[in-house]
Amino acid sequence: MYSRILEPPARSFFLFGARGTGKSTWLRATFPDAVRIDLLDEARYQRYLADPASFRMELNAVPNGARVVVDEVQRLPNLLNEVHRQIEERQLRFALTGSSARKIRRAGVNLLAGRALHRSMYGFCPEELGADYDLERALTYGSLPLIWASDSPAEDLDAYVRLYLKEEIQGEALVRNLPGFARFLPIAGLLHGQVLSVSNVARDAGVARTTANDYLDVLEDTLLVRRLPAFEPKLRVRERHHPKFYWLDPGPVRALGRRRGPPSPEERGVLFEGIVHQLLCVYRDTRAAFDELAYWSPADAKATEVDFVATRGDEHVALEVKAPTRLRDEHFKGLRAIAPLAGLRRRVVVLPATEPMRTDDGIDVWSLGRLSEVLAAGRLFEPGSE
């Protein structure tokens, strides 16, 4: 089993992540002696649903200060009231997993009022896989642990999408019109790496704007996608304000589009950009490598000018992601446009593979492996240190 870079907090915490990211596997390896309560166990779920007091009585039998793992807590969010009490009165330390924050919020349950930290789990990253990391495999099938270990990744990706509809959406009653949502999903797959206009999505899907927005919220709340906000540096230009839209992994994107085999040249660029987005999110959420992530684009530009701007305090790093057969001067255009930004520590073009280079005006050119190494070492905001 591969080691994950997530470090377990000593106190209680939520661990959020989409299905298949390895939350339960990591918790079993990290806390082998913990008391385990799996809410995907239907008999146990029904028992707690009919008699919530049985949850309290089971916890009462656990020694003070012990570690308790509760899997898929969003299925019964009202149990968090008892979790809160057990933390306060008996110092139990909970690890609470979830693949959806939507039901917890809708139930009006606070997320333990700051008494539990929040952590996130993603697909594998290069640091975790080491020499086994294969970018071509990641582009083709993604890096979800469930799929990475599979002997039939294409078939298992198809099953993953069906499982999502059956267990996550239908089982949790997140949408009323499941067939309509199923028809919407392939359209959502086409949005990967694109600037998001809900009106355009609604028109393409043939649904009302409010319905399209609800469907997008479901995808985000079940942690399959992220909306990347627009960065507003006030560089004497008018910036776009629509967010960009990224799936958590290339695998579901390709499965929704029924694409198998190696990615086409047209696919590679956006899939690689999504992998870089995932990598940046991993190090932001697990290592606090920076505070915020956004993209920057002047409103009159024909394409996104800078794919990612990572911000730490009042410092920034701008990253442009490319997957060309040949690096050209035009690939540096956005990074040169953002150069006047106050607090800009460095500018980087990220390619699938390259020897480290630097332009005469100070733009770094890195491979994905180099970016991973710099993030792992905590040196993203240290120009010239690599």
**pLDDT single digits (tens) 15-31:** 999 989 999 999 999 99
**pLDDT score for 236:** 54
β-pairing verdict for 363-367 and 357-358: antiparallel
Of 124, 175, 118, 115, the C-alpha closest to 145 is 124
Interacting residues of 124 by C-beta distance below 8 A, sequence separation 6+? 2, 133, 143, 144, 145, 148
Query: Residue 89 and residue 170: Cα distance in Å, rounded?
Result: 37
Which residues of the chain are modeled with pLDDT < 50? none
Q: pTM for this one?
A: 0.92
**pLDDT score for 326:** 85
Report the DSSP beta bridge partners of residue 318.
Answer: 309, 347
- The pLDDT tens digits of the residues spanning 256-273 come to 999 988 999 889 999 999
14: its two tokens: 């939520």
Residue 34 has a CB neighbour count (10 Å cut-off) of 18
Interacting residues of 298 by C-beta distance below 8 A, sequence separation 6+? 237, 238, 239, 240, 305, 337
Cα dihedral value 20, 24, 26, 29, nearest 10: -140
**pLDDT score for 111:** 62
Structural domains of the chain ordered from first start: 13-120 (3.40.50.300), 125-386 (no CATH)
Query: Residue 225 and residue 256: Cα distance in Å, rounded?
Result: 14
DSSP, collapsed to helix, strand or coil, labels residue 364 as: strand
**pLDDT score for 232:** 81
* Secondary structure letter of residue 192 according to DSSP: T
DSSP, collapsed to helix, strand or coil, labels residue 323 as: coil
* Secondary structure letter of residue 100 according to DSSP: -
**pLDDT score for 15:** 94
**pLDDT score for 238:** 57
Provide the residue count of the chain.
Answer: 386
Question: What DSSP string runs through 324-347?
Answer: -SS--GGGGHHHHHTTT-TTEEEE
Whole-Å CA distances, 130 to 4, 175, 310, 380: 11, 40, 25, 20
Beta strands in 196-301 (DSSP E): 225-228, 244-247, 292-296
Residue 76 has a CB neighbour count (10 Å cut-off) of 20
Q: Which amino acid is at 370?
A: R
Query: Residue 205 and residue 318: Cα distance in Å, rounded?
Result: 34
